[in-house]
Structures are given as structure tokens and as C-alpha cells.
Structure 1
């Protein structure tokens, strides 16, 4: 009987220790996910602020390109609180029209750096959230699922149309073969 009681005490002790460790780990994961999520959102806001500054500066110039003016107006009116395909396409069009104008945009380096920082924070969040058992805890805590990368556009250089590139990637996922460039 003493042996059985001793085994039961040890078993209950292990369960208590495991439960305490799990709750500490869970609170640490949730805290880390919130911190990383806020970092992604802050980096996105910095990027959007740079776009707004660029748009203000471009509007002050005497732009003759109606398409560029049109897409700048769309950019100003759009609600850019998160990444969307429409937002990406609009930025693609602005970049293309600025290149047609041969207009040196001093914001290219700033925007590219902001995208790089945003994508790095998205990579950190998505990777941390995808690790076992973090994804189980994140799902139960209703953390954002995953953030999207903004990786198709590089400012100041020729880019492929994001709609066409996304279509090629979707076809590649469906059919396989060589990865589209």
C-alpha cells in the first residue's frame, strides 16, 4: 500500500509540475505572439507613412502623367491598414509610371528598406507561430493566422505585374514544374 501511495504522489507531482510548466510556456508564447504581431503592424504602419510622404511630395511636383496622378489618388484614398493584392497592384503601377517618367524618386530606398523590415518581421512571426506546439496555442488564443509578405515589388526597378506573377505561382502550386521567376 505504501508503494502504491508513493507512486500516486509521484504521479500527481509530475502532473502538477507539467501543468505549471505548460501554463508558463503558454503565457510566454501568447506574449511573444502579441509582441511579434504588434511589431509587424508597426512596421506596416511605418511603410504606409513613407508611402503617404511620397505621395505628398509627388503631388507637389508638376506631374504630366495622368496614370501616375490616377494611381497616386487611389493610393491616398485606399485604406491601407493591412496588405492587400489591390494595394500591391497600385504600388506596382505607381512604380512603373515613375520609371516611365524617369523621375528619380528619393523614396525608393526608404520604401525598399521598409518593405525589407516588414517582411523580416512577418517571417519571424510566421515562423514562430508555425512551430509545434506554438501553432496549437496560437489557434486557441485567436492570434492572427499568418501575415502576408510584400515581396513582389521593389521600388526603382522594373517589376513583373503582381497579378500575372501570382497567377503563375498559383499555376505552379497546382501543376508543379519549375518555379516561375
Structure 2
């Protein structure tokens, strides 16, 4: 159960180059203020995605560590494709079905589902922003070949 609950994607952004451009003032060399503003807003949006991802897992981990024998998770499902190893079984007799009748657990999962959907919205909006930045740059600088930029953005963002 734990595997299914927390095995979703974890977005780990690498903003090094973008932050360097924004913080160094190099964006000021761009004439188009719309492009500058969009690029400058990307790191904050990415930070929000990372924070939401961290928050929605926090309550669940704390709850399960108190109410479920996490060591038993490999009894029901292997965690990894390439590193198969049992964690063994817990010495504690914990009824795994008890949490299914606990309103606190239900509420945690409900909040988690809401925040995951919210995070997906933020990610979709970020993708739209990337495509808008690409479009603005291609229109502003038409002599440069940007034919592969869209593919690179989608590959970099969606993995």
C-alpha cells in the first residue's frame, strides 16, 4: 500500500542555469519585456512545484510510520525493478486493514489527491509557459533555427 501511495513522480528541477541568468542580471540584455518577465517567473513556479510535492507526502509518511508496519511493504509488492530485495518482516503485529477504517487516513489521502491534482495543474501551466516563451523567442528572432527546441523542452520537462 505504501508503495502505491508514494511511488508517484517526484519532480526534481535543475534551475542552476536559469537562476544564474535571472540573478546575474543577464536577462536585462533581452529587449522584449514579455520574454524577460516570463523567464524570470519560471524559477518561482518550479519552486512551488517542488514544495507542493514535498508537502503532500509529509503527512502521509508521518501517519503511516505510526500506524503501519512499513517494513512489510515488500511482502506485498517489490519496490524496484532492478534492485529486488525483501526488507524482511516487521516484528510488530500491526493490522494493515485498520487504517482503511480510519477517518484520519482517509482525510490524508483526500488532501494528497487534491494537492497532486493541483501540482499537475501547476506543471501543465509551466509547460504552457515554456511553449509561450519558445513561441515569443522564435517570433522575435526568426533567423535562428529553433526546430528542435520544442522537442528538447518536452524531453527535459517530462523526462
TM-score, length-scaled by structure 1: 0.40
